[in-house]
Homo-oligomer: A and B are copies of this chain.
Amino acid sequence: MRNDIQTEDIPALCASCEARHRGICAALDAAQLIALARSSHRHRAGEGEELVGEEESIERYSNVLSGVVKLTKTLSDGRQQIVGLRFAPDFLGSPFKVESKLNAEAATKVSLCSFPRGAIERMMKEQPGLEHRLLQQTLKELDEAREWMVTLGRKTAAEKVASFLLLIAKNIDPSARPDRDKAEFELPLTRADIADFLGLTIETVSRQFTRLRADGIIAIENNRQVTVPSLSRLEARSGS
């Protein structure tokens, strides 16, 4: 199914791409990668840019190559909830159509590799491995969503904020290793985003940050640069 030996055959673009190894494209062989690369294009989006409006979602699918994308839902009166975050090399855009509305917006600067809907669907027919991969990613997303439901429904504000920091640390700390208990990373979200993710207000989020800082669980520089000296101490506050 994978064809790592013939690395020279795969498109140059894909050779160093993370999605090729850990993402959707890992299910494709060289020939399929070439076919897909023909109709794919890389592009960037700035913070706050909308990626998937109603219409566009149907048009194309993307791999997240870098940056963070937030998936949001909005009630009719404007209340908003972030229902998921996508990090590299996650897949973006749900296959087949889902009835309910969902927005995707760049939380940070983002780079994407996009292809038209049709290309993926055609490939799915001739390569069941791709659909299998998609199922796995969807199951992972479902699992994460359920985990977060517990956070939203049953945790206190303090636990929510700690859980959030752990999630980010796991997903974007470049120095992360299983044994390292320390973490450093730049927050990809504003306080407002964090509030929307946690079902809180920005003021409550801010107060919880202040408390974590006062207790030495985290240090923050320039509002965004976070240091966690001990992930296990942070985890102890996450209520899990």
Contact = CB atoms under 8 A, between A and B. Distances in A.
Interface stretch (A22-30, A51-59, A79-87, A112-120): A79-87
Nearest to A80: B154
Copies in the complex: 2
A81 B153 contact: yes
A199 B153 contact: yes
A133 to B, nearest CB: 10
Interface residues of A, number: 43
Contacts of A152: 149, 152-153, 199
Contact of A145 (B140, B149, B154, B199): B149
Interface string A138-159: 1111110111111011110000
B128 A83 contact: no
A198 interface: yes
B131 A135 contact: yes
Contacts of A80: 154
Interface of A: 71, 73, 75-77, 79-81, 83-84, 94-96, 98-100, 102, 128, 131-132, 134-136, 138-143, 145-150, 152-155, 198-199, 239-240
A148 to B, nearest CB: 6
The list of the 3 closest CB pairs from A to B, nearest first, reads: A153-B199, A152-B152, A83-B146
A153 B198 contact: yes
B135 A73 contact: no
Given A150-B81, A152-B149, A154-B199, A100 B143 contact: yes
A142 B138 contact: yes
Contacts of A128: 128, 131
A239 B73 CA distance: 13
Contacts of A100: 143, 146-147
A141 B141 CA distance: 10
19 contacts: A71-B146, A75-B150, A81-B150, A83-B150, A95-B139, A96-B139, A98-B140, A98-B143, A99-B143, A100-B146, A128-B128, A128-B131, A131-B131, A131-B132, A138-B142, A142-B142, A152-B152, A152-B153, A153-B199
